[in-house]
Amino acid sequence: MPPSTQDSKLEPELQLRLHDLMVKSRVLEETLISMTKSGDGYFWIGGPGEEAFNVPLGLLVDKGEGPAHDYLHLHYRSSAILVAMGAQMIDSIRQMRSVATDPYSGGRNFVNHFSVHAWNVVPVSPTIEVQYAMAPGTARVQKREGGTGITIVNGGDAGAAEGDFATCLNWSSRPGQELPVLILVDHNKYGISTPSTEQWHLQDISKRAEPFGIRRALVDGNDPEASWQALSEAMAYIRKERKPFCLQANVSRLYGHSSSSGAARVDERDCIAEWEGKLAARGLLSEERAKAVWEKYRQEAKAALAQVREEPFPPPEDIWSHVYAETDGSVGHAGRTTGERTEG
Amino acid letter, 24: K
Per-residue pLDDT averaged across 225-238, rounded? 98
Q: CATH code at 272?
A: 3.40.50.970
How many domains are there within the chain?
1
Confidence of residue 8 (pLDDT cuts 50, 70, 90): confident
Asked, for residue 5, whether it belongs to a domain, the answer is: no
Report pLDDT digits (tens) over 291-339.
999 999 999 999 999 999 999 999 999 888 877 776 654 444 444 433 3
Please indicate, yes or no, if residue 34 is contained in any of the structural domains. Answer: yes
Mean model confidence pLDDT for the chain: 92
Look at residue 6 and tell me if it is in a domain.
no
Buried b (16+ CB within 10 A) or exposed e, 257-272: bbbeeebeeeeebbbb
* Inside any domain, residue 245: yes
Cα atoms in the 13 Å half-sphere on the side-chain side of 288:
0
Residue 334 to residue 113: CA distance in whole angstroms: 12
In terms of C-beta density within 10 A (0-12 exposed, 13-18 middle, 19 or more buried), how is residue 294 classed? middle
Q: Does residue 136 lie in a domain region?
A: yes
pLDDT digits (tens, 9 = 90+) for 135-167: 999 999 999 999 999 999 999 999 999 999 999
The reply to whether 317 falls in a domain is no
Please compute the mean of the pLDDT values over residues 212-221 and round it to a whole number.
98
Taking phi over 0 as left and psi of -120 to 50 as alpha, with beta for the rest, 115 belongs to beta
DSSP 8-state symbol, 98: T
Q: What distance in Å separates the CA atoms of residue 243 and residue 255, rounded to the nearest whole number?
A: 36
* Pairing label, strands 245-250, 181-187: parallel
Is 172 domain-assigned? Answer: yes
Is the four-CA dihedral 135, 138, 139, 140 of positive or negative sign?
positive
Question: How crowded is residue 158: how many other Cβ atoms within 10 Å of its Cβ?
Answer: 21
Domain hosting 85: range is 12-312
Sequence-separated contacts (24+) of 26-31 with Cβ below 8 Å = 26/51, 26/272, 27/89, 27/294, 27/297, 27/298, 27/300, 27/301, 28/79, 28/83, 28/89, 28/92, 28/93, 28/297, 28/301, 29/79, 29/255, 31/89, 31/93, 31/301, 31/304, 31/305
Is the model's pTM score more than 0.75? yes
Would 252 be classed as within a structural domain?
Answer: yes
CA distance 19 to 282: 14
Q: Above 60 in pLDDT, residue 342?
A: no
Count CB-CB contacts under 10 A for residue 314.
18
What does R_g of the chain's alpha carbons equal in angstroms?
A: 20
Residue pair 222/18 in contact (Cβ under 8 Å)? The answer is no
pLDDT tens for 245-254 read 999 999 999 9
